[in-house]
Structure 1
Amino acid sequence: MTLPIADEGLSKGTQLTVSVSPKSAEKTEAFVPPYPFRYEQMPPIWTLIGMAKKNFLSIWGMDDFQSRLRSTRVFTRELVICNRPDVVREAFQSNHRALQRKSPQMRHALEPLLGDGLFVSDTDTWAKRRKVVAPIIHGSRVPGFAPIMVDTIIEKREEWAARPDGAEIDALEEMAHLTAEIISRTIFGRNLGANYASEVVEGFSDYQRHIDQIDLISMFGLPEWLPRFRGRAIRKSKDRILKVLDEIIDSYSAQKDAGEASVIGGLLEARDENGEPLSRDAIRNEAAVIFMAGHETTANTLAWTWYLLSQSPETAAKLHLEIDTVLGDRTPTFKDVADLPYTKAVIEETLRLYPPVPILAREAMEDTEIGGKAIPKGSLVMVVPWLMHRNPVLWSKPDAFWPERFLQKSKRPNKYGYVPFSIGPRICAGLQFGMTEAILSLAILARKFEPKLKPGTDVQPVARLTLRPGADLPMLLQNRAA
């Protein structure tokens, strides 16, 4: 059955008893994790803008979750929200040419850090860079990356094992360090180390904390070239990240001479269709994109997974049973990923409830049409995974943590209705890399540990550039019984 939209009293995380199937009388307990309050009557636009500056997830009303195609005018901009698979397909697949440009807010928020990198570029720049970058992290390369992933995760497991049972950790920071180390070793052929990892992790956190979330200049229809104010905190956090990337790039020659292969070499040695190498700035921009997309999103997903499992003992028990049965005490390999369907389902359900990039926004580069509605040039078109993944028309128990939904082969979600990695030509090139990394990390660490949420901790989702469980996630590191 479909749960009714929860009221404010459920927004802190609640246990509900719900039906597994509308045709079955069987009952199962499903955890409803936290989400911001949903308005029945929306507040004024200026109030919403103030809320969005703090948390993008707080601006949606109850009707937004159930809609198919909605539009409104915000100052000079037409804002269109696509919230069903058919209109998502039109927006991001059929109308890719007209709607390939990221929103002004996203472009200006990330330009200081990513420059003209693949994540924020479009037209010819995007097409040319995609040809260079996509093969570097293509799914066909993931089996070769898996042993490095496994070794790095095992190091984290041994680090945890050295701590006393019940030791407090920040699960968000722990996963960010782990994924930063994995991306550095696999993609850049270099051990990042604790100090460099801290610089990257803290740099990204500070950057998100201080960057503007609303681009009022564009919303008022002012010229694109008008400068955006960047405070000292933004420049400092950007410099911390780029300094690490510069040192990684500079060290490539020494690594190459020593016989150590790295994917960064693919960027340095790549040639465009005219035989020209990428510029130094282009190489650093693409390295920044790979680093941001490769560590931040997976770290958030794993942190949310630990939280959800800590509140869902039945789900955790099923996960542990699968891991114990399939892996025992041996070290997993890439081939084991296919034999861990429930582990994968846990990750998929986490991505449904807490998509790392909860808003995918584009700017219409020309007049177009979606669902029979005219979309004028300059309109903002949004696919909002946060809304669509909880749309009660598309999902049974939309707010509940229920990984089993991804094991029902006859009811697999429409690929345009489940878009944690976006969809269409701009789908994340590192999709398989991230999924493999997350599954292996969960399997290896959950085999030995069962982190518990620190008592008294109020976990609330906060979305700025990405969706995090607040500034930190304090958990108690508990050993599993052998």
Structure 2
Amino acid sequence: MTVAVTQPKTAKTEDFIPPYPHRFEQTPPVWTLIGMAKKNFLSIWSVGDFQSRLRSQKVFTREMVLCNRPDVVREAFQTNHVALQRKSPQMRHALEPLLGDGLFVSDTKTWAKRRKVVAPIIHGSRVPGFAPIMVDTIIEKRSDWENKPEGTEVDALAEMAHLTAEIISRTIFGRNLGKNYAEEVVKGFSDYQRHIDQIDLISMFGLPEWLPRFRGSAIRKSKDRILNVLDEIIDSYANQKEAGEASVIGGLLEARDEDGNPLSRDAIRNEAAVIFMAGHETTANTLAWAWFLLSQSPQTRVKLHAEVDTELGDRIPTFADVANLRYTRAVIEETLRLYPPVPILAREAIKATVIGGKPIPKGALVMVIPWLMHRNPVLWSKPDAFWPERFIQKSKRPNKYGYVPFSIGPRICAGLQFGMTEAILSLAVLARKFDPELKPGTDVQPVCRLTLRPGDDLPMLLKTRTT
């Protein structure tokens, strides 16, 4: 089945409308949707899904509930956190080979204990101390670009993935990852997403959780590539400690629970995998999308360049500059609105509850889908347009339950401030010198598997700024 895609307007229009999949007027049959979802979860939604508030539908044996307005999102993820804290079976089984019982996929007692250990490690209060390492790493990337001939073609998605993998390694794990290790991590995550199942039919048919899910050799190989790097980082901690180098991995190794017991080796590696995945993959995708959007939006580029020239000049930025880079932040926030890195947030009800007056049975799947809510025309003017200015207008800031690129409620991403700071500094430092141009003839389309990417790569031409 061929699915039409919406093409962007020309870059000369006032408001650039970036690409998004075709929206159905009427929802297709379930089996058609399942086939489409296996390839791209963003392609299954109808016009009504974007405009809805609270919808439900039974798919095989599962009740599926869609929350698409701030009031019901608050009920689902804040008020009813206890009943809806468990991630969906699809997400848990898709990530279990890589993350084990890590914070991202665990729940109840395991989640509560690990959150106490992990959250302080990347808490917003620690970000100012991480900023100098971020800046040093970004400047190294800028120098690497400066050493390339004018017009060199680069894969912006891979470039940003290498950058953020290096940042997360240096700031969180206290070591220089190096080009070879970064390559292993980046390719490992890409391959893992490409091969992992996007639909968990076993759970949709109500079959037991313990039934094994088939995992092909490609998944095992990509998982091993990532975990081997993490094992090296963990094993090297003893040498780092002797050299006086502090790191988060050291915090995990030395952490104790309320009973005074250390985390197991598996738990440490699982949490390291969560931090690495959340700390590099999502920010890399955001930056790649930002470069694409800017390449198609001349007016936005002019405003961005004016800000970074004025605020940064030729000096090395610091954490204090982030607060003054208001338009740069708006570009990142608007990118996150249009292309949220995790565009589907799904939970499984571990007990019956109520949302918006609707009874939610145990076992139901409750979904908050940023991809839909961030483009809901009831909540946003020009919902499909790239318009960073909407985030500059303080009087019109979005409701925090209507803008959820980092989730919301008790399970909100612990690294929110880390990721935002990293993205703002990366965009500002690189945009001060470069104005990347999309390679002519490139068709960029959003694809969602575990995260939302601009396809498998993003070919762009490095152009040095002349103004």
TM-score between both structures, scaled by the size of structure 1 = 0.96
- Once residues 125 and 55 of structure 1 are traced to their aligned partners in structure 2, the CA distance between those partners, rounded to angstroms, is 31
Counterpart in 2 of 1:259?
Answer: 244
Q: 1:79 aligns with which of 41, 64, 70?
A: 64
Report the counterpart of residue 114 of structure 1 in structure 2. Answer: 99
Match of 2:8 in 1: 13
Q: CA deviation at 1:12?
A: 1.3
Give the distance between the partners of 2:245 and 2:311, measured in 1 at CA. 33
2:88 corresponds to 1:103: yes
Instruction: State the AA in 2 paired with 1:195.
Output: N
Aligned-partner SS, 2:375: coil
2:40 to 34, 55, 66: 55
Q: 1:215 aligns with which of 187, 191, 200?
A: 200
- For the residue of structure 2 that corresponds to 1:339, the secondary structure is coil
Indicate how the Cα distance of structure 1 residues 16 and 305 shifts in structure 2: closer, same or farther if over 3 A, else same: closer
Alignment of 1:422-433 (within 5 A): 422-433=407-418
| Pick aligned residue for 1:316 from 283, 293, 301 | 301
Tell me the CA shift for residue 119 of structure 1: 0.1
Q: Counterparts of 1:261 and 1:84 in 2: how far apart (Å)?
A: 43
List per-residue Cα deviations over 1:269-300 (Å, max 9, x = no partner): 00001010000000000000000000000000
Q: Match for 1:406 among 372, 380, 391? A: 391
**Hey, what does 2:435 align to over in structure 1?**
450
Which deviations, in whole Å up to 9, do the C-alpha atoms of 1:297-343 show, x marking residues without a partner?
00000000000000000000000000001111111000000000000
How far has the Cα of 1:9 moved from its partner?
Answer: 8.4
> Which residue of 2 is the match for residue 202 of structure 1?
187
Partner of 2:362: 377
The residue aligned with 1:67 is: 52
CA–CA distance in 1 between the matches of 2:4 and 2:310? 39
Contact 1:360–1:385 at 8 Å: present in 2 too?
Answer: yes
RMSD: 1.1
1:51 Cα deviation after fit: 0.3
Q: Partners in 1 of 2:5 and 2:372 — Cα distance?
A: 17
Q: Give the letter aligned to residue 11 of structure 1.
A: T
Amino acid at match of 1:126: W
% identical equivalent positions: 84
Q: Could you tell me which residue of structure 2 aligns to residue 170 of structure 1?
A: 155
User: Within the alignment, does 1:340 sit opposite 2:335 as a pair?
Assistant: no
Q: Do 1:15 and 1:30's aligned partners in 2 also have CA atoms closer than 8 Å?
A: no
Paired AA for residue 180 in structure 2: N
Structure 1 regions of 5+ residues with no counterpart? 1-7, 18-27
Give yes or no for the alignment of 1:269 onto 2:254.
Answer: yes
Is this contact kept in 1: 2:68–2:372, CA < 8 A?
yes
Deviations 1:380-420 (A, max 9, x none): 00000000000000000000000000011000000000000
Alpha-carbon offset, residue 15 of structure 1: 4.2
How far off is 1:142 after superposition? 0.2
Contact 1:267–1:283 (CA under 8 A) maintained in structure 2: yes
Deviation of 1:41 after TM superposition, in Å, equals: 1.6
What do the CA deviations read for 1:132-187 (whole angstroms, capped 9, x no partner)? 00000000000000000000000000000000110000000000000000000000
Structure 2 match to 1:391: 376
- Alignment of structure 1 residues 466-477 onto 2, 5 Å: 466-477=451-462
1:29 aligns to what SS in structure 2? coil
Q: Give me the whole-angstrom Cα distance separating, in 2, the residues matched to 1:381 and 1:41.
A: 22
Encode CA deviations 1:403-450: one digit per residue, 9 max, x unaligned: 000011000000000000000000000000000000000000000000
- 1:24 maps to none
Q: Which secondary structure state, in structure 2, belongs to the residue aligned with residue 414 of structure 1?
A: coil
Selected match of 2:353 from 368, 378, 396: 368
Please say if residues 11 and 298 of structure 2, whose CA atoms lie closer than 8 Å, have aligned partners that are also in contact: no
Tell me whether 1:461 sits opposite 2:446 in the alignment: yes
Partner secondary structure for residue 65 of structure 2:
strand
What amino acid is the match of 1:321? A
**1:325 pairs with 2:310:** yes
Query: In structure 2, which of residues 131, 134, 149 is the aligned counterpart of residue 146 of structure 1?
Result: 131
Amino acid at match of 1:152: T
- For the 8 Å contact 2:102–2:274, the answer to whether it is kept is yes
- Secondary structure class of the residue paired with 2:320: helix
* Cα pair distance change 1:16/1:78, threshold 3 Å: farther
Question: TM-score, length-normalised on structure 2?
Answer: 0.99
Q: Is the contact between residue 368 and residue 376 of structure 1 (CA under 8 Å) also seen in structure 2? A: yes
Q: 1:229 aligns with which of 205, 214, 224?
A: 214
2:68 and 2:373 in contact (8 A); partners too: yes
Instruction: Measure the CA separation in 2 of the matches of 1:224 and 1:325.
Output: 56
Name the CA distance, whole Å, in 2 between partners of 1:88 and 1:41. Answer: 24
**Does the CA contact (< 8 Å) of 2:11 and 2:296 recur in 1?**
no
Tell me the amino acid that sits aligned with residue 214 of structure 1. Answer: I
User: How much has 1:16 moved relative to structure 2?
Assistant: 8.8
- Secondary structure (helix, strand or coil) at the match of 2:31 reads helix
1:21 is matched with none
* Equivalenced residues, count: 465
Aligned to 2:336: 351
